[in-house]
């Protein structure tokens, strides 16, 4: 079990960081409602939490950070809220891309590209192309994303390979399927955090999270940052990951 240790000045250092942290950013609307503010204010504050979290991930040497920004089910929200969220995403890319690139952050965007307007697609492609060779942090944005849709699209890709004679059904392995997913180039998440007190995955990284440690925090997403990230990592480090086996120190 890893733990925090004291630095020479007596301050607790951050715990050892996992390789890949995924986050369901939940609670923007409730954060705003509790303050008598419109939902848009919560979403705007949520963007600031994204900036704090990316900065903290870099400082804590986390190689991969995946954020659930807009689900395929979110299209059922009111049109004005959707338009505001799309505008926030565009402004984030335009306003933060240069700094992210300067900080050696690689950007990936996963999810279904249908229903996304051409301006947004162009911005996404620009961000991914500009940062493709960066190595300090891989920031993956799950946008218009749903895990069931992702798994279905992966199955369709493999079916196309079978139909074209490039692969036989008996040759399909877990690794084939993993590589066909949107996250094929990423390690599976070691830890998945959900804010706002909700305790469900909400169609996020269902395949990839088979052995992921789940951490549920009561704080709303706009209040998230370095301190809460360290709290979650501390929880993660207190657990013993067995992947279906026995602990290594066990004599059973």
Where is the binding site for substrate, in residues?
A: 27-31, 39, 43, 71-73, 75, 77, 194, 200-202
Return the CA Rg of the chain: 19
CA distances from 86 to 27, 60, 212, 222 (A): 18, 30, 30, 18
SS3 content of the chain, % helix, strand, coil (to 5): 45, 15, 40
| Distance separating alpha carbons of residues 62 and 56, to the nearest angstrom | 9
Active site residue 26: yes
Of 3, 74, 103, 175, which residue is the catalytic one? 74
Active site residue 74: yes
Q: What is the DSSP letter of 14?
A: P
Binding-site entries: 26-31, 39, 43, 71-73, 75, 77, 194, 200-202, 213
DSSP letter string over 195-234? -TT--S--SSSTTTTTTPEEEE-SS-GGG-SHHHHHHHHH
Angle at 199 between CA 79 and CA 63, to 5 degrees: 85
Which has the closest alpha carbon to 221: 14, 11, 28, 21?
28
Q: What is the DSSP letter of 209?
A: T
Binding-site entries for Mg(2+): 26, 213
By the 8 A CB rule, do 15 and 237 touch?
yes
Of 3, 26, 175, 190, which residue is the catalytic one? 26
By the 8 A CB rule, do 89 and 114 touch?
no
Q: Known catalytic residues?
A: 26, 74
């Amino acid at each position: 079990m890893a733990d925090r240790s004291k630095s020479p000045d007596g301050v607790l250092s951050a715990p050892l960081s996992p390789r890949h942290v995924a986050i369901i950013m939940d609670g923007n609307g409730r954060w705003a409602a509790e303050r008598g503010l419109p939902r848009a204010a919560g979403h705007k504050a949520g963007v600031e939490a994204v900036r704090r979290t990316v900065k903290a991930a870099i400082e804590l040497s986390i190689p991969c950070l995946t954020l659930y920004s807009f689900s395929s089910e979110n299209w059922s929200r009111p049109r004005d809220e959707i338009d505001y969220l799309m505008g926030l995403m565009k402004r984030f890319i335009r306003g933060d891309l240069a700094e992210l690139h300067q900080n050696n952050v690689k950007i990936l965007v996963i999810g279904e590209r249908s229903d996304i307007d051409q301006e947004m697609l162009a911005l996404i492609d620009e961000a991914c192309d500009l940062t493709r060779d960066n190595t300090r942090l891989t920031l993956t944005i799950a946008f218009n994303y749903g895990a069931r849709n992702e798994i279905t699209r992966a199955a369709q890709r493999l079916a196309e390979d079978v139909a074209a004679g490039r692969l036989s059904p008996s040759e399909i392995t877990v690794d084939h399927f993993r590589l066909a997913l949107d996250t094929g180039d990423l390690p599976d998440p070691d830890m998945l955090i959900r804010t706002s007190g909700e305790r469900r995955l909400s169609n996020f990284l269902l395949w990839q999270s088979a052995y992921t440690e789940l951490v549920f925090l009561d704080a709303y997403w706009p209040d998230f940052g370095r301190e809460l990230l360290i709290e979650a990592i501390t929880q993660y480090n207190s657990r013993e990951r067995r992947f279906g086996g026995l602990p290594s120190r066990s004599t059973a």
